[in-house]
C-alpha cells in the first residue's frame, strides 16, 4: 500500500508542478521554448555554411559598424560574454577567413577585429536563412495576428 501512496504522491507532485509551470511561469516558459526552437533551427540552417548563431552575432555586430571593426572588449559587451568566449569566437572566425584581427594604431595591446568581404557575403546569406525561419515561425498566424503578435512582443520587451 505504501508504494501506491508514494506513486499517487509523485503523480500529484508532477501535476501540481505542471500546473504551476503553465499558470505561473507560462509566458516566460513559452517564450523560452520558442527561443530554444528558433536557436535549434538557426544552428541547423547555419551549419550548411559552417557558422553558429554566436559566430553570426559577431559578424552581425561588425556589419553594423561603419568601418566593420570592433574591439574585443566591445564584442564582449555586445554579446554579454566572457573574454575567453569572445576570443574563441574571433579565433574561429579568423581561421575561416571571415574576420581579420590586429591591434589599434594607438595601442597595439587593444585587439580589434574587422569583417572581411567573405564575412560580409556569408552574413548576408545567413540573414536570409534566419528570415526564412522567422517567416516559418509565424506562418501559422494570419497577417493580422502576426502584426498583433509582434506588437505584443515589443511591448513586453520594452516593458523590462
What CATH code is carried by the domain that includes residue 80?
1.10.10.10
Q: What is the Cα–Cα distance from 53 to 61, expressed in whole angstroms? A: 12
Q: What is the pLDDT of residue 25?
A: 63
Q: What is the pLDDT of residue 107?
A: 78
- Determine the structural domain holding residue 117 and report its residue range: 2-140
Angle at the Cα of 68 from the Cα atoms of 129 and 127, rounded to 5 degrees:
5
User: Is 17 contained in some domain?
Assistant: yes
As beta bridge partners, residue 71 has 112
* 110 DSSP assignment: S
pTM of the model: 0.74
Q: What is the pLDDT of residue 110?
A: 87
User: Is 131 contained in some domain?
Assistant: yes
User: Is 14 contained in some domain?
Assistant: yes
Query: If you average pLDDT over residues 127-156, what whole number do you get?
Result: 92
C-beta separation of 76 from 58 below 8 A: no
User: Is 20 contained in some domain?
Assistant: yes
User: Is 72 contained in some domain?
Assistant: yes
How does pLDDT run across 86-119, given as a tens digit for each residue? 999 999 999 999 999 998 777 778 899 999 999 9
The total number of structural domains that make up the chain: 1
Q: Which residues contact 64 (CB under 8 A, 6 or more apart)?
A: none
Residue 61 — φ and ψ, nearest 5°? -65, -35
User: Is 23 contained in some domain?
Assistant: yes
How does pLDDT run across 5-32, given as a tens digit for each residue? 555 566 666 555 555 555 556 678 888 8
Q: What is the pLDDT of residue 83?
A: 94
What are the grid coordinates assigned to 123, written together?
A: 552574413
User: Is 79 contained in some domain?
Assistant: yes
User: Is 149 contained in some domain?
Assistant: no
Q: What is the Cα–Cα distance from 103 to 116, expressed in whole angstroms? A: 16
Alpha-helical regions (H) of the chain: 2-23, 26-47, 53-64, 72-79, 83-95, 117-138, 143-158
How does pLDDT run across 28-69, given as a tens digit for each residue? 888 888 889 999 999 999 999 999 999 999 999 999 999 999
Amino acid at each position: 500500500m505504501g508504494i501506491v501512496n508514494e506513486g499517487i504522491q509523485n503523480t500529484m507532485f508532477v501535476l501540481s508542478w505542471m500546473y504551476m509551470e503553465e499558470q505561473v511561469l507560462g509566458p516566460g516558459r513559452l517564450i523560452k521554448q520558442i527561443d530554444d526552437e528558433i536557436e535549434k533551427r538557426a544552428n541547423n540552417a547555419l551549419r550548411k555554411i559552417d557558422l553558429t548563431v554566436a559566430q553570426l552575432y559577431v559578424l552581425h555586430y561588425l556589419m553594423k559598424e561603419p568601418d566593420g571593426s570592433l574591439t574585443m572588449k566591445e564584442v564582449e559587451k555586445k554579446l554579454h560574454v566572457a573574454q575567453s568566449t569572445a576570443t574563441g569566437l574571433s579565433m574561429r572566425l579568423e581561421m575561416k577567413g571571415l574576420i581579420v584581427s590586429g591591434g589599434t594604431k594607438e595601442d597595439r595591446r587593444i585587439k580589434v577585429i574587422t569583417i572581411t568581404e567573405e564575412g560580409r557575403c556569408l552574413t548576408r546569406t545567413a540573414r536570409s536563412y534566419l528570415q526564412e525561419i522567422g517567416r516559418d515561425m509565424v506562418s501559422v498566424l494570419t497577417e493580422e495576428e502576426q502584426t498583433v503578435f509582434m506588437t505584443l512582443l515589443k511591448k513586453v520587451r520594452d516593458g523590462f
